[in-house]
Amino acid sequence: AQDIGKGVSMVFTRSCQYAVRAVAYLATYEEGHLCRAQEIAGSQGIPAPFLAAVLQNLARAGLMKSFKGPKGGFCLGRPAHRITLYDILEAIGSLSGLTRCAIGLEDCPGDILCPLHDRWEPVRQSVIDYLQGVTVADMEVALAQKKELMDLLGA
């Protein structure tokens, strides 16, 4: 479990955290509801210029739709139950920590593996499985439950 925690922290860069929060925020609205980048940034405490670049990456990957103009904004590009954490990380370019050699070697060809490969591979695969198994809809439910609990506790 300790190794998995290290692998996850390598994956969740600031850009990724902002992307996950933005997508989860949009998932709280009805399908097709548009939110301006400034609204998302303000509600999530994310610097607006930084978020704009993140949102564009998500839109290019098809996870969001972007509409220009005075009534424009962003909405999810597909239903929340069809967007995984893996999809978000892939769109932001945050998967390199899971795909490259654990000790930074250029290449680990089949029978000439780096010294950490055998131990890192199951950890890497566990993290990938986790990321592919958690959807934005799952996050939306978990966040709502956490908010409800925090409200009850007065936190």
- Tens of pLDDT, residue by residue over 77-101, are 999 999 999 999 999 988 877 777 7
Q: Which residues does residue 66 pair with via DSSP β-bridges, in sequence order?
A: 74
- Which structure tokens are listed for 66? 């972007």
Q: How many CB atoms lie within 10 A of CB 113?
A: 14
Q: pLDDT tier at 1 (50, 70, 90 boundaries)?
A: very low
Sequence letter at residue 63: L
In the numeric block, the tokens 């607006």 are attached to: 48
pLDDT for residue 10: 52
On the question of pLDDT at 7 being above 60, the answer is no
- Which structure tokens are listed for 109? 């060809």
**Cβ-Cβ contacts under 8 Å for 132 (sequence gap 6 or more):** 84, 85, 86
Nearest to 83 by CA among 55, 58, 51: 58
On the question of pLDDT at 37 being above 60, the answer is yes
Q: What is the pLDDT of residues 123-142, one digit of tens each?
A: 888 999 999 999 999 988 88
pLDDT for residue 6: 44
- Mapping DSSP to helix (H, G, I), strand (E, B) and coil, where does residue 88 land? helix
State the DSSP string of 109-144.
-TTS--TTHHHHHHHHHHHHHHHHH-BHHHHHHHHH
pLDDT for residue 117: 75
User: Could you tell me the pTM of the whole model?
Assistant: 0.81
